[in-house]
Amino acid sequence: MVHSNMSNGNYQVAEAHSFGLEPITCHAWNKDRTEIAFSLNSNDVIICKNHNGHWSTIATLSAHDLRVTSIDWAPNTNRIVTCGADRNAYVWTLSNGLWTKSLVLLRINRAAMCVKWSPKENKFAVGCGAKLVAVCYFDEENDWWLSKHIKKPIRSTVTSIDWHPNNYLLAVGATDFTTRVFSAYIKEVDDKPSPSSWGDKTTFANMLSEYSRSGGWTHDVRFSPSGDKLAWVSHDSSISVVDSKRDVNNAVTQRTMFLPFMACIWLRENHILAAGHDCCPMLYKYDQSGKLAFEMKVDQVQKRETGGFSALKKFADMDKRATSENVDVLLDTTHQNTITQLSMASSNKNDTTICSTGMDGLMVIWDVRVK
């Protein structure tokens, strides 16, 4: 386990924890952020509990036949949903200290890529490689989870999804270079929705908005806390925001000088944190005039000293690398490999503490302070 503490006005690395050398492919927190569920690039989900800064394993969820690709933990019902490359999803419920799984009828023939509970936790959505999103709800009569499919006009793998706070709109990002907003209203479980700034077509699977770019596929999509704005990051090293109250048909896009972002998250209604292949979270601001601007790198680790090249280190390097040259293989960032996911590390909505996990097996907690 690695610990580090740094501060510089607008940011602070509160703590960094290592869970080994394997990549953390996905993670999810419980309601009070005392437990975390994650997968280390395997078909198991590990649940760890925080004991004064030290994490201990309290449960392992084993059901998937192939790699787990996404996890979400419902804060109020305390249910966990997982999906994987085996084309399955499971809903896990804690009963008498044991996690038991429920059957989900996804009806897909490709890997499930992402999963997320709706705000009211009465349904969840699964994006997959079969060019569709499965919106799942519980059938009490048969004691299983049924699904309805959103298909057209998605033309490729769904990589990311996010729910609007109103519980029926769903943002979908895919590898067909397009981000869309659909209605995921299901009359069996939802109250009749009222029109929003995104449109009034509430019938299930109706597409309300579509945003296409020719530069790269979408890696992550996120609604703002109010649900009026939508942000997404793409493989062409761009970050985009659309404000439904200002102009629902046009997005503001900024091509960045950084490597592609893999994840993004709203800190406030006008601040977005993005991270990816640069191994460093980047802070962006969407101002009241509708402009999107880069503000700062959150991780500003000082460059590591490479001096003091002792004779012992010289011969050790000759043995390892067949050279006596001083080769520094460490990055000047806390994460040493791609950041793949960002999440809120606090249950307080006014707290902008962020958790990042990545391909280096690290979980880092960032205290990002924005005005």
pLDDT tens-place string over residues 307-337: 444 566 566 666 655 655 555 578 889 999 9
Residues paired with residue 153 on neighbouring β-strands, in sequence order: none
For 6-367, CATH number out of 3.20.20.150, 3.40.50.1000, 3.40.50.10090, 2.130.10.10 equals: 2.130.10.10
Residue from 177, 293, 173, 178 nearest 223 by CA: 173
For 231-265, write each residue's pLDDT tens digit: 999 999 999 999 999 999 999 999 999 999 999 99
Q: Which two tokens stand for residue 363?
A: 């979980």
Write down the pLDDT at residue 306: 44
Q: What percentage of the chain has pLDDT greater than the value 90?
A: 76
* Interval 170-211: pLDDT, tens: 999 999 999 999 999 999 999 998 889 999 889 999 999 999
pLDDT digits (tens, 9 = 90+) for 200-211: 889 999 999 999
Check pLDDT > 90 for residue 277: yes
* 103, HSE (Cβ side, Cα atoms, 13 Å): 8
pLDDT number for residue 322: 61
The model's pTM? 0.90
- Whether 4 shows a pLDDT value over 60: the answer reads no
**Interval 55-103: pLDDT, tens:** 999 999 999 999 999 999 999 999 999 999 999 999 999 999 999 999 8
* DSSP result, 68-129: EEEEEE-TTT--EEEEETTS-EEEEEEETTEEEEEEB----SS-EEEEEE-TTSSEEEEEET
Residue 331: the pLDDT is 87
CA atoms within a 13 Å half-sphere pointing along the CA-CB vector of 213: 25
Q: What is the number of residues in the chain? A: 371
| Rounded CA separation 70/96 (Å) | 25
pLDDT for 13 beyond 90: no
Q: Percentage of the chain with pLDDT > 70?
A: 88
Classify residue 351 by burial, with Cβ atoms within 10 Å: 0-12, 13-18, 19+: middle
Domain boundaries, the chain: 6-367
Average per-residue pLDDT for the chain: 90
Q: What is the CA radius of gyration of the chain?
A: 21
CB count in 10 Å sphere of residue 209: 18
**Residues 133, 170 contacting (CB under 8 angstroms):** yes
User: Binning pLDDT at 50, 70 and 90, where does residue 343 land?
Assistant: very high
- Any residues with CB less than 8 A from the CB of 305 and at least 6 apart, and which? none
pLDDT at 11: 57
